Amino acid sequence: MDRVPPKPKHPESNLQSEEGADSMSTMENQMEPSSVDSIESSQTQPAARQPKYQLGTPVQFVQGVGSQRAPLFEKLGLTRAGDLLFYFPRDYQPPVEIVAFSKLKTDTRVSVVGTVVDREFRGISEGRSMAGVLLQVEGGSVRLKWFNQPYRLENISHGARIQATGVIKMAGFVWEMIHPEYKILEDEEDLSPNKPAPQYSLTEGLLNNHVKRAVHNAVHELADSVDEVLPAATREAAGVLGIATALRQIHIPTTMDEAMAGRKRFIFQELFVLQLALALRKRQKQSGLPAPVLEDNAKIHNRILSRFPFELTSDQRQAIHEVANDMGKNVPMNRLIQGDVGSGKTVVAMYAMLLAVAHGYQAALMAPTEVLARQHARVLGANLKASRVNVELLTGSLSGSERKSVLDSVAMGTTDLVIGTQALLSDQLEFRKLGVVIVDEQHRFGVGQRASLRSGTETQPHYLVLTATPIPRTIAMTLFGDLDVSVLREKPPGRTVTKSYVARHDEMASWWEFVRKQLKQGRQAYVVAPRVEDNEQEESRGAEYWHDRLQREEFANFRVGLLHGRMASSDKDETLRKFNAHELDVLVSTTVIEVGIDVPNAAVMTVMEADRLGLAQLHQLRGRVGRGQHPGYFCVFPRKEIPGVENERLQALTQTQDGFELSEIDFKIRGPGNLMGTKQHGLPPMRIADLSRDAKILEHARKVALQIVAENPELEGEDFRRLKKQVLARYGANLELGDVG
């Protein structure tokens, strides 16, 4: 017997009132292109049919949402009807075939067809209810259940033919589907193969069906209201769909091919808009103030090379040639030097700085940490000791009088090279004639901090960006897409291969014994911890713990020092001086030593809790040992309990010394968001594109963007009006594109 509830208040029947309709009419002109982030709203609708609501209508008035669920949708950032169009599925459940009763298997997603022979509604606890339908299928029966959805029984009558799709489970002696999708069949012609089922990211209280229904309703009403931002020629070149078709196919596909074609359109659009912004930024830099022409010649070239007490690698020579060629033009150089550990990128930077000085210009080098800035100053000072080149250091730790002295010297032009941290960005720093700016470890500064240091002249300086972190190609095209790139892979002759190990905690005692043997032979060692202090909640030991323990126990007969970022600059400098002078045997440190520290006698490094660090970072740390004539040894200890994939990632360290190969492995495993801190890089996050998956689309988007900017650098014309508006809305502030056009 049917046991059905009294007619419930439909959760989705709370559609717009007359007051709501009036308020919506005032919102049509309030929607900004950046809010949906893909297109402008259109006021012109097809003459044949007016939609029930507009792109800017509050989300609660979309059928399937209502006032009760609207706050949950808003938690997902879906505040207006148009937002639903661009809330893309995170995945799809593939289509399934109709399965005979005899072939049902538990925990599989199937489709069944049957006749309703019973309906049920009952309360199961306070505030909770269950609506059920029993389907008679050929060979048996299947029960369909929905919790807290009494309205499901409103349109399912006794005797109705239904096609239901969901995950089938055996409950006692009955097959069940919980919250299945279903279709009421008027006749057998309505029976159709299943379609891909979009899966959306959710929040507590929202089911996938809730989001899918609201999105589908928005697509039916509004897909034709969306203006196209991609010119027809661009869509043709990219092989992508028009906006309305793409919206229908990504949300309501009939086949997986349709779903993928819809996704491709929006992946291309997202990457294309970014590449267009980067291409515009590059052109903008080149079309602004001219740069000083700092031509190279044989005399200058040989004089600079005489400062290097070693033979250059072919990669270094090629990079120097590219840098010198750039600096010989009045268009500002914007070049990235990407070098693997120990490839000698600093040599290329030094060449660029001395080329500027040779023409009477100044040079600036900005490093991400004071430790690295001071080391650059020491190395450059030592290499230029016998010359007339004046090198100064500018950091935040200088006293007021020291700082004033450096600022005055730079302003008067008596300082040729100034090395510093972000203190170089100070408004008080005024150069007399700035010729070139070197930004070391660029990815640590963020997109908005490519310093526009004031040159004091009617020119802008050349820019050279350095990174010792090998970058996957797709990230390089994204974060550094406005730069030309030189790559240093070749290591200088004489560098030994560092042997690398992943060890278990029960092997720690034997490892410390090995380290002691190295110390007795006159070598030095690093021990690295990922944090300064202990964290009891995460059962994590910090550098302070290891320093205290090692000097009391494992290395009681050796000199053990401590280095971390919270120490005073003078203390850090003194600790590094002692380690360089071999007044310390072991240096316990945080990852502050990751980049640039050069102690040739250091042969052993131990990294604790190594699974907390990325492969690129571990590879950088490994580069601190084996820099002299002695072989290097690198051992990492992960936490005791780590997933297999983490162990796989760490094992990659033992299989290759190639930083570029490791960066690609890390990229595939950890994703672009975690690699190199790109989430904090200043660019808006990707909505649908995945740099590790969509490399081919990215390369094509970049090619199309560069061609368009070359042919139409101002994006002039009606075809590009909406596209330019979207580029500025999404990236104008981050990439300083406010004056484009």
| Structural domain count, the chain | 5
Question: What is the average pLDDT value for the chain, to the nearest integer?
Answer: 83
Residue 649 CB-density burial (10 A; 0-12 exposed, 13-18 middle, 19+ buried):
buried
Alpha-carbon torsion angle 473, 478, 480, 482, nearest 10: 120
pLDDT (tens digit, 9 = 90+) per residue, 406-465? Answer: 999 999 999 999 999 888 887 788 899 999 999 886 544 444 444 455 555 677 899 998
CATH number at residue 393: 3.40.50.300
Least confident of 123-132, 228-237, 657-666, 691-700: 657-666
Q: Could you tell me which residues are beta bridge partners of residue 235?
A: none
pLDDT (tens digit, 9 = 90+) per residue, 331-358? Answer: 989 898 988 777 888 899 999 999 999 9
**480 and 336 inside one domain:** yes
**250 and 348 inside one domain:** no
pTM of the shown model: 0.66
Is 653:663 a contact under the CB 8 Å cutoff? no
The predicted model gives 144-151 an average pLDDT of 88
CA 424 to chain centroid = 27
Query: Do the domain assignments include residue 665?
Result: no
Is 604:630 a contact under the CB 8 Å cutoff? no
Angle between helix 659-670 and helix 615-622 axes, rounded to 10 deg: 150
Query: Do the domain assignments include residue 678?
Result: no
Question: What's the full length of the chain, in residues?
Answer: 741
Amino acid 476: pLDDT: 74
**148 and 255 inside one domain:** no
The predicted model gives 94-112 an average pLDDT of 87
Amino acid 677: pLDDT: 44
Query: Do the domain assignments include residue 664?
Result: no
Is 617:530 a contact under the CB 8 Å cutoff? no
With CA atoms as reference, report the closest residue to 588 among 617, 636, 549: 549
Please report the DSSP string for 95-147 in residue order: P--B--GGG--TTEEEEEEEEEEEEEEEEEETTEEEEEEEEEETTEEEEEEEE
pLDDT (tens digit, 9 = 90+) per residue, 221-240? Answer: 999 999 999 999 999 999 99
pLDDT (tens digit, 9 = 90+) per residue, 592-621? Answer: 887 667 888 999 999 999 988 888 889 889
With CA atoms as reference, report the closest residue to 583 among 601, 566, 604: 601
Amino acid 587: pLDDT: 96
Is 575:583 a contact under the CB 8 Å cutoff? no
Is 616:483 a contact under the CB 8 Å cutoff? no
**87 and 105 inside one domain:** no
**81 and 39 inside one domain:** yes
Query: Do the domain assignments include residue 79?
Result: yes
**306 and 439 inside one domain:** yes
Query: Do the domain assignments include residue 395?
Result: yes
Kindly report the three-state secondary structure assignment for every residue of 396-421: CCCCHHHHHHHHHHHHHCCCCEEEEC
Residue 150 CB-density burial (10 A; 0-12 exposed, 13-18 middle, 19+ buried):
buried
pLDDT (tens digit, 9 = 90+) per residue, 625-644? Answer: 988 888 999 999 998 777 66
Host domain of residue 2: 1-92+203-226
**441 and 464 inside one domain:** yes
Asked if residue 161 has pLDDT above 70, the reply is: yes
CA 577 to chain centroid = 37
Kindly report the three-state secondary structure assignment for every residue of 19-51: HHHHHHHCCCCCCCHHHHCCCCECCCCCCCCCC
What does the alpha-carbon distance between residue 332 and residue 561 come to, in Å, rounded to a whole number?
44
Question: Which residue blocks in 287-393 are alpha helix, DSSP H?
Answer: 298-305, 314-327, 345-358, 370-383
Domain closes at, from 175, 194, 213: 194
* 629 half-sphere exposure, CB direction, 13 A CA radius: 1
Query: Do the domain assignments include residue 360?
Result: yes
CA angle 658, 661, 667 (to 5 degrees): 135
Other beta carbons within 10 angstroms of residue 97's beta carbon come to 9
The predicted model gives 656-672 an average pLDDT of 77
**190 and 218 inside one domain:** no
Report residue 297's pLDDT band, with 50, 70 and 90 as the boundaries.
Answer: very high
Is 164:182 a contact under the CB 8 Å cutoff? yes
Is 242:54 a contact under the CB 8 Å cutoff? no
